[in-house]
Structure 1
Amino acid sequence: MSDVSDQPDQPKKPFLYAVGCAAGIAGDVGKSITTAQKQQWDVGVVATPQALGFIDVEAIEARTGYPTRSAWRRPSDPRRKRYESRRSIAGDLLFALAADGHLSRASRRGGWTSNQHAWMLAPELPDIPAPLARSELVRHWLVPSGRAPSPI
Structure 2
Amino acid sequence: MLTFEQKLAIIESFPELERKNVSLGRVNFHFAESVYDKKNVVYHLHPNGNGFVYGEFLDGYDVDPKGLVNIRDFTAEELKNIIEQSIQSLSANSTVESAIIEDNEEERWINSENHTLILVHEDEMWNVYAGLNLDGTFLSYNEAKQYLEEEGFRKR
TM-score, reference length from structure 1: 0.23
Higher RCO (CA < 8 A, seq sep 6+) = 2
Larger Rg: 1
TM-score, reference length from structure 2: 0.23
Which of the two has greater strand per residue? Answer: 2
